[in-house]
Amino acid sequence: MPTTSTNSLPIEAIGLQRTFGTGDEQVKAVDGVDLQIQQGEIFGFLGPNGAGKSTTVRMLTTLLRPTGGIGRVAGFDVVEQANDVRRNIGVALQDAAIDPLMTGSELLHLQAVLYGLPKSTHATKAGELLERVGLTAAGNRRVGTYSGGMRRRLDLALSLIHEPTVLFLDEPTTGLDPMSRISLWEEIRRLNNDGTTVMLTTQYLEEADQLTERIAIIDHGVIVRKGRPSELKAEVGSPTLFVSVDAAATEPATTLLAGFGELRPSPEGTLGVGLTDGPSAVSNVIRTLDDAGITVRNLELHEPSLDDVFAEATGYRLEGADA
């Protein structure tokens, strides 16, 4: 078995391409994607439906052959060394694809055989993973009786049986209730703290904001934004300050606020201003209003959200985006 180079990146794509169909009907689903994901990183991969997210992930997980470019995972080429890639990655794809006729424990045993774990470790490993994802009591029940959250957790456990160094999670929390989502986030953070590199595909911008260190946004098969969420948000523009003052002071307050940046739409009873100098201007705003004898009733600073970044990059706003 070839060994992975110590300086190789856990996930790397260079000009990765995938076309479907031929002739006039040819569609470029992924058109030259470059990604460099660092050891120990949680990397968020975002994009509208049909943008090329899943196609990219399928190529990196050896489920789909690229039609161009290079994909390397754990230091191995996804085409030439596909089996080495498979030994090193854990994959939890969309919709928690699990055989409903089998029990959680049986599936973990099957997975242990497929990955070639020593037989003597199967039972211990299955028990540990069931406990880790809180499914010990349900381990001997058929998966068909599990709730959506339980299936997701089992799916994650299945992808961890061989202790992969790189984990691909494709929309792991879609359709989960908030509690299940948070518990899955905690598990992902724990895994990452143990040294697992995670590539997370998600539709939830809040999830990307909470979990990931860097993100890439793909649209029409091309990476349109890449970087740290805070940097990308800063690129979108200045934060908005919402100020509440007494009704009588609205007019002079508006004039004063206009001195700190462009006035922005705001909820009723508040005034909104985009702070040209960023959050550091907040203290100046308060001082200026105070000097003019205007009492500030309430103050809220809204940083640009990932939703703003996403919308600016793709022209779409995701449903329920709130980050």
Partner 1 sequence: MTTAPTTTAGPAPRTRPELHQSNVAQTWAMSKRSILALWRQPALVVPSMIFPLFFAALGTASFSRATAIPGFPEVDSYLDFALAGAIVQGILFGSTVGATALATDIENGFFDRLLSSPSTRSGIIVGRMAGGMAYGFLQTVVFIAVLLPFGLTIKGGVPGVITMAIGGTVLALAVGALMSAMAIRTGSSEAVQGAFPLLFIALFFSSAFFPRETMSGIYARLADINPISYLVEGFRDLTIEGFTWSAAFRAVVIPAILAVLTVTLSLRTLKRRLGAR
The residues that touch partner 1, with contacts defined as CB under 8 A, are 10, 36, 38-41, 58, 61-65, 83, 86-87, 89, 91, 93-95, 97-99, 101-102, 106, 109-111, 113-118, 121, 142, 158, 162-165, 192-197, 213-214, 225-228, 231-232, 235
Question: Alpha-carbon distance 185 to 203, whole Å?
Answer: 14
- CB closer to partner 1, 231 vs 300: 231
Question: Alpha-carbon distance 161 to 199, whole Å?
Answer: 18
Question: Alpha-carbon distance 112 to 106, whole Å?
Answer: 10
Minimal distance, residue 114 CB to partner 1, in Å: 4
Distances (CA, A) of 95 to 52, 92, 147, 252, 276: 17, 9, 12, 55, 44
DSSP string, 238-249: PPEEEEEE-GGG
Distances (CA, A) of 308 to 269, 304, 313: 24, 6, 8
Of 63, 92, 78, 55, the closest CA to residue 198 belongs to 92
- CB closer to partner 1, 21 vs 269: 21
Minimal distance, residue 97 CB to partner 1, in Å: 3
Minimal distance, residue 2 CB to partner 1, in Å: 14
- CB closer to partner 1, 113 vs 292: 113
- CB closer to partner 1, 141 vs 264: 141
Residue 273 near residue 259 (C-beta atoms within 8 A):
no
Minimal distance, residue 252 CB to partner 1, in Å: 40
Question: Alpha-carbon distance 315 to 170, whole Å?
Answer: 23
Minimal distance, residue 229 CB to partner 1, in Å: 11
Which of helix, strand or coil describes residue 263?
strand
Minimal distance, residue 193 CB to partner 1, in Å: 7
Count of C-beta atoms within a 10 Å radius of residue 39: 15
- CB closer to partner 1, 197 vs 240: 197
- CB closer to partner 1, 40 vs 252: 40
- CB closer to partner 1, 125 vs 181: 125
Minimal distance, residue 158 CB to partner 1, in Å: 7
Helix (H) or strand (E) holding 105: helix 104-114
Minimal distance, residue 102 CB to partner 1, in Å: 7
Cα 55 off chain centre by = 16
Cα 284 off chain centre by = 36
Of 147, 151, 152, the closest CA to residue 172 belongs to 152
- CB closer to partner 1, 260 vs 310: 310
Question: Alpha-carbon distance 219 to 237, whole Å?
Answer: 21
